Amino acid sequence: MKKVLLLAFIISGFNFYAQKLEKTSTQLDTVTLSTTLDPLNKFKTQRISSEEIMSNDAVILTPIINRIAGVNMQQGALNTSRITIRGVGSRSQFSTNRLKLYVNDVPMTDANGESVLDDFDMNSIGSINVIKGPKATNFGGNLGGTIQFSTKSNNNPFGLSLGVGSFERKFISANASTDLDKTNIQLFYNQMDSDEYRQNSEYERQNLSLFTKTSFNEKWSLEHMFIGTRLKAFIPSSLTLSDFESKPQNAASNWFQSAGFESYNKFLLASTMKYHVADDKLWSTAIFLNYRDGFEPRPFDILDEDVIGFGLRSTFASSFVLNEKKINYQVGVELQNDYYSVQNFDNLYRNTPERESIQGDLVNAFSQNRFRANAFAQVEFAVLDKLDIEFGLNLNYASYNTDDEFQENDMDKSSELRYNPVVLPNLNLAYQALESLEFFGNYSMGIATPTSDESLDSEGFFNANLNPSYGHNYELGLLWSPQQSGLNLQLNVFQMDIEDLIVARRIEEDRFIGINAGETTYQGIEFSANYSVNFTDKILLNLYSSLTLNRFEFTDFVDDTEDFSGNRIPAVPDYDVNFGFNVLISNKLNLGFDAEFVDEMPLNNANTLYSEAYHFFNFRSSYLTTIFNTSTTFQFGINNLLDENFAASVLPNAVGFGNNAPRYFYPSLPRHFYLKVLFKLN
C-alpha cells in the first residue's frame, strides 16, 4: 500500500516555483525553487532563493536543501550534519566532505576538504546554487559537486527578526544597510539559544557578518567580507537500535556523563578586487584569511585545536570572435594553505560523580601544514545556431606535512604526503531543440582527495598506499518550459563510475582510517516539475515536487576476506520524494505544506542491517501587514506534523567497543513548532 501511495504522489507531484509578481512593500515574498543556466557554463544548477530559505524556521537548511533532487542532507543535531550529492560524501562520519562550499566565490571549505554550515548566517543568504557532480571546472572538479552561497543585496535600512520555538529555542537576528558615498555596507547579526530535545544537547551560537562594496569608478571595485561565528554545542551522539526505539531523547551514556561538547570561535576575512578591463573582460582576485580556535571535551579525550589558513582565488573572463562566432573563456587559479595545531589530553570524567570533563595529562600533540591548489581553463562557444559546447580542464593538487610534537616512546610520526597532480576534463553540450525545449549532456572527471585524518594508517603515519578517488560522470537531461504555461520540467539521468572510493574504517572509538573500496557505480534518475497558476486576481497557487531514484553499489570491493561486490553503498536511500504547495492570498497570507518520503538505507557494507523508510510532513504560514513604518511578517510553522520517530541521520559501519552495541542512529526531532516576527523598515 505504501508503494502505491508513493507512486501516486510521484505522478501527481510537481516541483514548482512562483511566478514573478509586481512587488510592493505590502506583498509577501513568494517561494521559488528553480533551475538556472550560468551564462558561461552550460551545466544546469539548482537555485534556492532567499524567500524559500526564510520560509522555514531559519534554524537549519535540511528541509530546504532536501527539496533538490539528488541532494540529501542528514541532520543528527544542530551541529552534526552531512550533505551528500548523488550519494558522494555519504561515508563521511560527522561532517560534509567530497564537495565544496563557496560564499561569493570565496571558499568556505577548508584545505582539509571539510565544510561546516554553522559558520554561515542563513539570514544573510541571497540564494544558493547547487552544482551536482564534478561539472564545475572553475570550482575544482569536486567529485560530489559544489554549493555556492550568494549574500543578499539588501536595500532595507534596517530589519529585525524575533522568534521562539519548541525545546526553548530563542532566536534573534538583525540586519542594517547603508550607503556611504561610493561604499555600500551591510551588517547581519544572528543569535540562537536552545535546550534541544535530547539530553546533553544545549546549543548556543552567534554569527556576525559584514559585507562592503566600494565602486571607485566604472572599472574598479573592492569588496570586503567578514563572517564570524561563536559556537558552543553539547553533543548527545548516536544511539544503539534499542535506545533509538525506546529512549530517543537520551544521549549516549558516555557523552552524557562527560558532558561532552564542542566549542569554537571562528572567522573568515576576505577582500575581492574586480577590474573591468573592457565590457566583456573581467579580472577578479580574492585573498582570504580564516581562523578557528576549537575546544572539544569528549569521552575518550579532550581536544584543543587551532587552525589558521590563507588563500587566493584569481580569475580572468573574456571573449573574442573567431569566424563570426563569439567564444567565451575563463582562466583562473585557487590556492589554500592551512596550518593546523592540535593537542589531546586525557579526560578524567570517570574520576568524578559530577557530569563534567576533567583535563588530564597530554597524550598527543602535532602540527600539520595542509595545502590544496587547482588551476583551470574553460571555453564556451556555439557550434551551430542551436548547439553550444563548453570544454574545460582543471589541474588539481594536494599535500600534507605533519610534525609530531609528542613522540611517544621515541617514535617520531612526522611525515609528508604529496598527491600527484591530476588533470580533470569536462565537456558540456546544450542543444536548444525548441524555444521551450533544451537537451543537455555532460562528461566530466572529478576527484576526492582524502582528508588528513583519512590519510593516516593505524599507526598514525601517512598511508602512501591510500589513493584519491576518481570519478567519471556521464549525464543526459532535458529542460522543458512551455511559454506562458507556468510549467517547468527537468529530467536528469546520470552514471558515475568511481575508482578507489575512500571509505572509513573505525579502528577505535575515536579513530578512523581511510581505505580504498575498489570500484563503485552510481546510477540515478532525477525529475522535477514546476508549476504556478493564478486562480483569481487574489489567489496564486505554487506546487513543487522532486523525485530521486538511485542505485549506488560496490562494483568490486573486497575488504580483507569479505567481498562486498554488488552490495548497496551504506547511508544513501534508493528513493527520495519531496512535494508541497504554497497558496498566496491577496499578497498578504501565505499557507504552505510540504512532505518528504525517504527509502530505507543500508547501515553497513554487508547490507545486513537497514534503517526503516520514513516520511514526515511540515506546515507553515505567514501573514504580512504594515505596522507604523515597517512591513511586518508573522510566521508560524509546525515541523514533523504527525510526530514520527525516524532516523534523521545514520552513522555507516558503526562499531561497538567494550561489548557495547554499535550506535548507528541519530533520532529525529518530534513534532515541534516555531513562531517568528520579522520587521522591515520601509
- pLDDT tens readout for residues 26-77: 445 444 444 443 444 545 677 788 778 877 777 788 888 898 999 999 999 9
- Give CA–CA dist 581/59, Å, rounded: 21
Predicted local confidence at residue 576, as pLDDT: 96
- Give CA–CA dist 638/56, Å, rounded: 9
Coil, strand or helix: which one is 571?
Answer: coil
- Which ranges constitute the DSSP H helices of 341-483? none
In the chain, the domains with their CATH numbers are: 2-681 (2.40.170.20)
- Give CA–CA dist 358/350, Å, rounded: 9
Predicted local confidence at residue 39, as pLDDT: 41
Nearest in space to 229 (alpha carbons), one of 252, 246, 205, 249 = 205
DSSP summary character for residue 264: E
Distance of CA 152 to the CA centre of its chain: 18
DSSP result, 455-489: TB-TTSSB-TTPPPEEEEEEEEEEEE--TTS-EEE
Which stretches of 535-607 are assigned E, i.e. beta strand?
539-556, 558-559, 562-563, 575-585, 589-598
Predicted local confidence at residue 413, as pLDDT: 83
- Which ranges constitute the DSSP H helices of 117-273? 241-246, 253-257
Nearest in space to 503 (alpha carbons), one of 139, 108, 87 = 87
Q: Which residues of the chain have pLDDT under 50?
A: 1-27, 29-40, 42
- Give CA–CA dist 102/83, Å, rounded: 14
Q: Which residue has the cell 507512486?
A: 7
Entry pTM:
0.90
Q: How is residue 262 written as a grid cell?
A: 564542542
Predicted local confidence at residue 59, as pLDDT: 78
- Give CA–CA dist 646/665, Å, rounded: 9
Which stretches of 384-454 are assigned E, i.e. beta strand?
387-404, 415-418, 422-434, 437-448
| Whole-number average pLDDT of the chain | 88
Q: Which residue has the cell 514546476?
A: 530
Q: How is residue 189 written as a grid cell?
A: 547579526
